[in-house]
A and B are shown apart, each in its own frame.
Chain A
Amino acid sequence: GQQVMQIPQYQHVQEGEDFTTYCNSSTTLSNIQWYKQRPGGHPVFLIQLVKSGEVKKQKRLTFQFGEAKKNSSLHITATQTTDVGTYFCAGPGNTDKLIFGTGTRLQVFP
């Protein structure tokens, strides 16, 4: 079945450092979504990418969809303690439901 993998599994950074998580799908995706889950919380939708090679920015967050539409990345510039949480990518399976990635847990030390 379709698999969505993310690396790294964990990332610890000093506040102010940059952070990147990578997402790889075993199949081509029509779109990719990103979610953030704070410790003890639930996933919250961040953004959707649809076009090959698309790049979108939300303040310090930059999202990219690969040319082959099988991979994506999320880059955070100058991390802050409020960025702490687990970041999931998700893509539609062979039906409409989302298949979530394995997640990258970000810890930011002040």
Chain B
Amino acid sequence: DTGVSQDPRHKITKRGQNVTFRCDPISEHNRLYWYRQTLGQGPEFLTYFQNEAQLEKSRLLSDRFSAERPKGSFSTLEIQRTEQGDSAMYLCASSFGADTNYGYTFGSGTRLTVV
């Protein structure tokens, strides 16, 4: 149990469908990050929140992607009109502010397959 929960673990969807992923961070952590990882690559930054405020979005995050963190607790990442290129592992991580002494705590990820 890493303390960061992601749901679902796996998602297979048809091209053009919408999908939504959920992340529950460690409760004491006010920062929440979304990353995307493809096979053989390092995690790529997508977006992050401090409490409920979305502070930064990567240029990788097209207008088909939207993330929310209502009330500064859990977060959702929605992908509209999925494309095959969206197939990847979507990782959520949390941390306590900008304090990096303990690094990021990652969840187990949601593996998305678009067919």
* Chain A residues packing against B (C-beta within 8 Å): 4, 31, 33, 35, 41-46, 48, 88, 90, 92-93, 95-103, 105
Residues of chain A with a CB closer than 8 A to B31's CB: 96
Tell me how many residues of B have a C-beta within 8 Å of chain A. Answer: 26
Tell me whether B100 and A42 are in contact (CB under 8 A): no
Mind listing 25 A-B residue pairs with CB under 8 Å?
Answer: A4-B42, A33-B100, A33-B103, A42-B106, A42-B107, A42-B108, A42-B109, A43-B93, A43-B104, A45-B102, A45-B103, A45-B104, A88-B42, A90-B42, A93-B45, A95-B56, A97-B33, A97-B48, A98-B100, A99-B45, A100-B35, A100-B45, A101-B42, A102-B41, A103-B42
Q: Does B2 contact A (CB under 8 A)?
A: yes
Q: Shortest CB–CB separation between residue A93 and chain B, in angstroms?
A: 7
Point out which of B40, B45, B48, B103 has the most chain A C-beta atoms below 10 A from its C-beta. Answer: B103
Mark each residue of chain B from 67 to 103: 1 if its CB lies under 8 Å from any CB of chain A, else 0: 0000000000000000000000001010000101111
Q: Does B43 contact A (CB under 8 A)?
A: yes
Q: Shortest CB–CB separation between residue B37 and chain A, in angstroms?
A: 9
CA distance A102 to B44 in the complex (A): 10
Chain A's closest residue to B106 (CB) is: A42
Contact of B43 among A92, A93, A100 (CB under 8 A): A100
List 12 additional contacts besides A88-B43, A103-B42; criterion CB under 8 Å: A33-B100, A35-B103, A42-B107, A42-B108, A42-B109, A88-B42, A93-B45, A96-B98, A97-B48, A98-B45, A98-B100, A102-B41
Residues of chain B with a CB closer than 8 A to A44's CB: 106
Tell me whether B33 and A43 are in contact (CB under 8 A): no
CA distance A96 to B45 in the complex (A): 11
